[in-house]
Amino acid sequence: YQRNVLDSQVCFSNGFSFGVATASYQIEGAWNVSGKGESIWDRLTHAHPEMILDHQNGDVADGSYYKVKEDVALMVELGVSFYRFSVSWPRILPNGLSNYVNEDGVRYYKELIAELHRNNITPVVTMYHWDLPQCLQELGGWTNPIMADYFVDYARVLLDTFGDEVRIWLTFNEPYSFCEDGYGGLDAPAANSSGFEDYMCGHNVLRAHGMVYRMFDNEYREKIGGHMGITLDFAWLEPATTSVEDQQAAETARQFYFGWFAHPIFSESGDYPPIMRSLIDENSKRQGFHRSRLPYFTSEEVEMIRGSYDFLGLNHYTTYLVKRGSQRLNVQPSFKEDMNAVRFQRDDWPKTNSTWLKVVPWGFRKLLNWVRLNYRNPKTLITENGVAYPRGLRDTKRVKFIDSYLRSLHTAIYQDGCFVIGYTYWSLLDNFEWTRGYTERFGLYEVDYQSPDLTRTAKLSAKYFTNVAKTGCLPNNFADYTYDTD
């Protein structure tokens, strides 16, 4: 790698923040300790180990439940200004409902938050990062409309308990992932019902988000201040060819993959994207259903959800090409059939240790501009970006990945005018990567799963990221972070 020494250094402005992220089930362990209830991920990994690549689970994970001081010390070393973590719903409310609060769960998050504040690190808290209480799944989980009310009750407990110490809240992490992969795929609860239950899940999650945002606005904002948003995952979708057909297919796919959740909340008009509404309505009719498989919001719900944000949390990892699918009649209805478009990646895009993640930094800039143009340039926090490579401390490839994505982000902000206020690396630590178990390592710090105390060790990328977080600039001299052998 060679850079012209005359290149001026790439720097982010003073107000721009750097942070790292994790999620409860992926790092905490202590799955049945001190009164914690069972989550849908506990259930899936215990009942169906064969559905996890290495047959593992999050019973122990990184043991972060016992490592508050140790983990915060790593963040101090990194020099990050915020930490995005999630609260485990069944750890706080073992029965899912708010009649009983588990005190040891409250103690753990209070200790974590206090330790962060002692070190000047701002907590950014996700209320729901996929670990639904199993007892609520027995009621149908997110397909049951009452889940929105229960989520409001849970959110109220969190705001009452932690509201004085936490100013930045995210309601949900990636509803697309947990609704589509959970109700139409292999993530918990692994319901095989795409084209039906995924849409029901999305509908209730959007209602739940809107209800919690309005509650926050009406009852908490004045008292505790703060900001509330939602994290959505946006892979960039580029037309496979310049044909009008593929360009239309790509735009339709964007409306299905991002617009499904972004349009109701962030667009000027609200509600589902018109193309999603019309395609699913038409398909449902043609398939002989008497009502659309995509539920309808009441006009009150449209208004409640429209504009229910202070900022957008955006997860971005990769890019896909899109071409028109062949509309097949008489097939099982599904999300993919409804949009009639196919996503794929080029073989010559650099591979990583995740089959779904190819290194395509230019997609980041395109995506951010699409968001700017479609949703009136919302205030955006990049809540996740990162990459998995095989185990090893000399992770030059990760350094290059982060550096290339940060350059793309820099261009989007300072040349194109996208309103992005911070960047979060996923993840602080190697962790339990859902159905890929411990086979994918995203951490800036390696976790030694063989050692009894789950030893954390800085990778080269931690050194690189420390430099970026502390200076706000990308290094001109890459030599410190690369080795000739790479």
Asked whether position 233 contacts ligand PNW by CB under 6 A, the answer is yes
Tokens of 20: 């790292």
**Nearest distance in Å: CB 380, ligand PNW:** 16
38 is catalytic: no
Nearer to ligand PNW, 362 or 478 (CB): 362
**Nearest distance in Å: CB 290, ligand PNW:** 34
Asked whether position 321 contacts ligand PNW by CB under 6 A, the answer is no
Contacts of 80 (CB under 8 A, 6+ apart): 18, 19, 20, 121, 465, 469
Nearer to ligand PNW, 221 or 323 (CB): 323
**Nearest distance in Å: CB 436, ligand PNW:** 7
Residue 267: cis peptide before it, omega within 30 degrees of 0: no
Q: Which is catalytic among the residues 174, 238, 301, 337? A: 174
Asked whether position 401 contacts ligand PNW by CB under 6 A, the answer is no
The number of angstroms, rounded, from the C-alpha of 350 to the middle of its chain's C-alpha atoms is 22
Choose among 345, 310, 200, 319: nearest CA to 260: 200
The dihedral region occupied by 393, where left means phi > 0, alpha psi between -120 and 50, and beta the remainder, is: alpha
Asked whether position 61 contacts ligand PNW by CB under 6 A, the answer is no
Give the residue, chosen from 12, 18, 19, 23, that forms a contact with ligand PNW under the rule CB under 6 A: 23
Nearer to ligand PNW, 306 or 459 (CB): 459
Nearer to ligand PNW, 150 or 317 (CB): 317
300 is catalytic: no
Give the residue, chosen from 315, 374, 380, 461, that forms a contact with ligand PNW under the rule CB under 6 A: 315
Q: Which residue has the tokens 């931690």?
A: 462
Residue pair 85/125 in contact (Cβ under 8 Å)? The answer is yes
Spatial distance between the Cα atoms of 132 and 110, rounded to a whole number of angstroms: 21
Asked whether position 317 contacts ligand PNW by CB under 6 A, the answer is yes
In degrees and rounded to multiples of 5, residue 93 shows phi and psi of -125, 90
Spatial distance between the Cα atoms of 200 and 164, rounded to a whole number of angstroms: 34
Q: Which is catalytic among the residues 197, 301, 384, 433? A: 384
User: Please, which of residues 116-175 interact with ligand PNW by CB under 6 A?
Assistant: 173-174
Nearer to ligand PNW, 395 or 433 (CB): 433
Other residues' Cβ atoms within 10 Å of the Cβ of residue 192: 10
Near ligand PNW by CB under 6 A, which window of 156-164, 190-198, 315-323, 457-465? 315-323
Contacts of 73 (CB under 8 A, 6+ apart): none
Looking at the annotation, which residues are catalytic?
174, 384
Interacting residue ranges for ligand PNW, rule: CB under 6 A:
23, 26, 173-174, 177, 233, 235, 315, 317-318, 356, 384, 426, 433, 442
